Amino acid sequence: EDKVVQSPLSLVVHEGDTVTLNCSYEVTNFRSLLWYKQEKKAPTFLFMLTSSGIEKKSGRLSSILDKKELFSILNITATQTGDSAVYLCAARAGGTSYGKLTFGQGTILTVHP
């Protein structure tokens, strides 16, 4: 059975801190790893990673994938209160799958002023 595990489950920091969120996966015929930010409702897309060692960056957020060790990290530098959210990691299987995503349980990030 496909599995995605995120750590830590929750994190409380102050504005300006840097955080690292972890995601490990065991997925048959792994194809890609996606990060989403979930505030009130819908998960909103952050990154999709398919290749090891290539960092994806968007402003203060960056992410990297290690396909040998089966994990990914999401870094947020100079955190702001608006970064407070649940961060979800999801893995997509290849093969005969039509794109089903297996999600981790999420990391709840709280950024205090």
Partner 1 sequence: EPEVTQTPSHQVTQMGQEVILRCVPISNHLYFYWYRQILGQKVEFLVSFYNNEISEKSEIFDDQFSVERPDGSNFTLKIRSTKLEDSAMYFCASRVMVTDTQYFGPGTRLTVL
Closest distance to partner 1 from the beta carbon of 13 (Å):
22
Closest distance to partner 1 from the beta carbon of 100 (Å):
5
Does position 109 bind partner 1 by CB under 8 A?
A: no
Q: Does a cis peptide bond (omega within 30 degrees of 0) precede residue 113?
A: no
Alpha-carbon dihedral angle through residues 15, 11, 101, 93, given to the nearest 10 degrees: 100
In angstroms, what CA-CA distances link 102 with 62, 94, 112? 21, 12, 30
Closest distance to partner 1 from the beta carbon of 82 (Å):
19
Answer whether 97's CB lies under 8 Å from 29's CB.
yes
Footprint of partner 1 on 33-72 (CB under 8 A): 34, 36, 41-45, 48, 50
Binding site for partner 1 (CB under 8 A): 31-32, 34, 36, 41-45, 48, 50, 88, 90, 92, 97-106
